[in-house]
Structure 1
C-alpha cells in the first residue's frame, strides 16, 4: 500500500478556516494553532526577524539604544506587528526576541569598532559594554530559567550565546587597549590604529 504525502495546498486547506477566523478576530493573543506551530516556523521567523526585522529587532533595538541608551522592550518590538484590520499579524515569542538581542550584540560590537576613530570613543565603548553585558547576562539568565531542559536540542541558542560572548570580550579588550595605549602614546591616530588592529584580530563569525 502506497501512502501519498499531502501537498502543501492540502495541508494549508486543512487549517484555512481556522487561519481565516484568527485573522478576522479582534484578539491580540496568539491562538492555540499559532503557538502549536511556532516551533515549525521559528527558524523562518527569526530569519525574517533578521531580514525584515533587522528593521525590527536588530536595527530597531540598535536605534533605540542610540536614542535612549536602553534596551528596547519586547512589547515595543511587537507593537508594529499589529494593525487595526488584523490585530495580531505576527507573534514574536520571548525566545525569538532573545535570539534577536543576541544578534544585536554583534551590531554593537561593529559600532564600537567604527567609533575608535572618534574623540568620544571611550564613552561609546563603555556604553556599548554596558548594553552588551546587560543583553548577555540577561539573555543567559532568562534562557537558563526557561529553556535549560531544551538546551541539548537547541544548538542555536548555545551558538548565539558563544558569539555574543566573543563580541563582548572583543569590546572589553578594545576598551582596555584604548586606556593603556592612551597613557603610553600621545598620538591619537597611533592609539586608534592599535585598538582597531586588536579588534580586527579577534573578529567573530556572523551569528
Structure 2
C-alpha cells in the first residue's frame, strides 16, 4: 500500500473518532445539565406544601425526563458495540447524573432505593430490547451521588417537623454506607472517593435528627427551625468550597 494513502486513511479514521467523541461529550454535558435541572425540580416538589402542587410539579419532572431520554437515544447511536467502552469515560458522568435524578424521583414516590432493573427499564424499546447498556459501576456511582440529595431532603423534613421520614432517610443512608464500604473495598475502588461525601451526609442528617429529638424541646419552635436552617446553609457553603 502506498504510504501516503495509508496515512490518509489513518487521518480519516482519527477524524471520524474525534468528531464522534466531541458529539458524545456534548450530549453527555447536555444530559448532565438536564439531569441537574430535573433534580432541582424534584427538590421543589419535596418542599411543596400540598400534594396538589406536587402533582403539577411532577409533570415538569416527567417532561425533563422525556427530554433526557431523547438525548440518550442520540448518544446511543455513537456508542454501539466496542465504541461503548472506547468512549465510556466521555459519557459516564451523564449516565451517573441521570441515575441520580431517577433515583431521587423514585425515592420521593416510594421511599425506596431504585433497583438496577428499574433503571434499565427506561432504556428498553417496544420490543423489550435494551438500546443502552447500564453497567453496575454506573448504577452504583449514581446511587452514591444520590446520598447528597437525600441529605438535603432529610434536612428539609426535619425543619418541617417530619422527624420520622427524616429518620427513615438516615437509616437508608447508613445501609448504603455499609454496602458501599464492602463494594469499594472488594469490587469498585472508584467508589472510595464518593464515600467521604456519603459519610458527611450521614453526619449532617444525624446531627439534625439529634437536634430535633434531644434539643428540640429546649427551644421555641421558631428558634429551633432557625437552628436547623442555619445547619443546612452551613453545609451548602461547605459544599460550595470544594
TM-score scaled by length of structure 1: 0.71
Aligned 8 A contact 2:96 2:141 in 1: no
SS at match of 1:181: helix
Shift of residue 205 of structure 1? 2.6
Q: Does the alignment pair 1:198 with 2:231?
A: yes
Alignment of 1:127 with 2:168, yes or no, is yes
Contact 1:163 1:205 in 2 (8 A): no
The whole-number CA distance in structure 1 between the counterparts of 2:180 and 2:158 is 27
The structure showing larger relative contact order (alpha-carbon pairs under 8 Å, at least 6 residues apart) is: 1
Q: How many positions carry a matched residue from both structures?
A: 174
**Unmatched 5+ stretches in structure 1:** 14-30
Task: Name which of 79, 91, 94 aligns with 1:47.
Answer: 94
Alignment of 1:1-207 (within 5 A): 6-9=13-16, 33=82, 37-38=84-85, 40-50=87-97, 53=98, 57-84=99-126, 87-120=129-162, 122-147=163-188, 151=189, 154=190, 157-185=191-219, 187-203=220-236, 204-205=238-239
1:17 matched to which residue of 2? none
**Is the CA contact 1:61–1:71 (under 8 Å) kept in the aligned structure 2?**
yes
What's 2:62 paired with?
none
Q: Any idea what SS the aligned residue of 2:82 has? A: helix
Q: CA deviation at 1:32?
A: 6.8
Task: Name the structure with the higher helix share.
Answer: 2
Offset of 1:39 from its aligned partner? 6.5
Cα distance, 1:84 vs structure 2: 2.8
Structure 2 length-normalised TM:
0.61
Q: Against the structure 1 CA distance between its residues 191 and 38, is the aligned structure 2 distance closer, same or farther, given a 3 Å change threshold?
A: same
> 8 Å contact 1:105–1:167 — kept in the other structure?
yes
Alpha-carbon contact 1:182-1:191 (below 8 Å) kept: yes
- State the shift of 1:168 in Å: 1.3
RMSD: 3.0
CA–CA separation in structure 1 for the residues paired with 2:139 and 2:122: 14
Q: Cα–Cα, structure 1 residues 44 and 58, in superposed 2: closer, same or farther, change >3 Å? A: same
